[in-house]
Amino acid sequence: MDKKKLLSFMPFFLLFIAGTVDVIGFLHLQNGLFVSFMSGNTTHVGILLNEPIDSRVWYYAGVICLFILGALFGEVIALSAAPYYRCIIMLFVVLLLSFTVLITHITPPIVTNLLLSFAMGIQNIALRVTIKQAIPLTFATGFLVNTGRSLALLIMRKSESSDLKHSFLLWASIFLGGVTGAKAMSMPLDFALMLPIILSTVSVFMLYWTHEIPDV
């Protein structure tokens, strides 16, 4: 397979993984807490701050902070480990997901979600420049906005249909990942996480193979 084509496929592949992990984390805790959908977590914090004292606000705040720290950690890797940063970042994601499996039966559920959020923050940096306009990897809202914009430009004959297809498929990737994550959660958490672990491991090898291709 052509390496450039393979690298251009990676955003869709990693979005699928992110959607899978997000739903697994959401269904695991069962209280509306996402591990990569920070827009939803942010608005939930706003809601909880207007309620009587609710300890869940600290869970949401903690997940948001761990997600930011994950992105920080990933960016440090990207700045110091080029041109191998993409595969190294996904290797850390594999290690974090694997560690989560090991501790899932001996720690409170929130600890699992904090680790998953940290891992997803790191993953967002894996293709930080590859995606058009450097949209964060799990920003589904951005993909929907771009789908709407591309559709408008296509109607006005100011854009090609390929732009619309690209934006829609990015959104569809995270959507299908979510569907897959929900199916995976019919099994215990440690077994459900094996799917994103395997897929992330595959991505490590794919990104290593394409490491010499610069971000585009």
Q: What is the pLDDT of residue 58?
A: 86
Condensed to tens digits (0 to 9), the pLDDT of residues 11-44 reads 899 999 999 999 999 898 877 788 888 888 888 8
Q: E strand or H helix at 142, and its extent?
A: helix 140-155
Nearest C-alpha neighbor of 175 from the set 28, 58, 70, 37:
37
Nearest C-alpha neighbor of 89 from the set 14, 172, 5, 177:
14
Q: What is the mean pLDDT of residues 130-146?
A: 63
Can the peptide bond before residue 83 be classed as cis, meaning omega within 30 degrees of 0? yes
Centroid of chain to Cα 142: 13
Sorting pLDDT into bands at 50, 70 and 90, what band is 126? confident
pLDDT exceeds 60 at position 107: yes
Domain map (residue ranges) of the chain: 3-209
Q: What is the pLDDT of residue 168?
A: 86
CATH pick for 3-209 out of 1.20.1250, 1.25.40, 3.30.200, 1.20.120 = 1.20.1250
100 touches 117 (CB < 8 A): no
Q: What is the pLDDT of residue 56?
A: 79
Q: What is the mean pLDDT of residues 48-64?
A: 84
Condensed to tens digits (0 to 9), the pLDDT of residues 63-97 reads 999 999 999 999 999 888 878 999 999 999 999 99
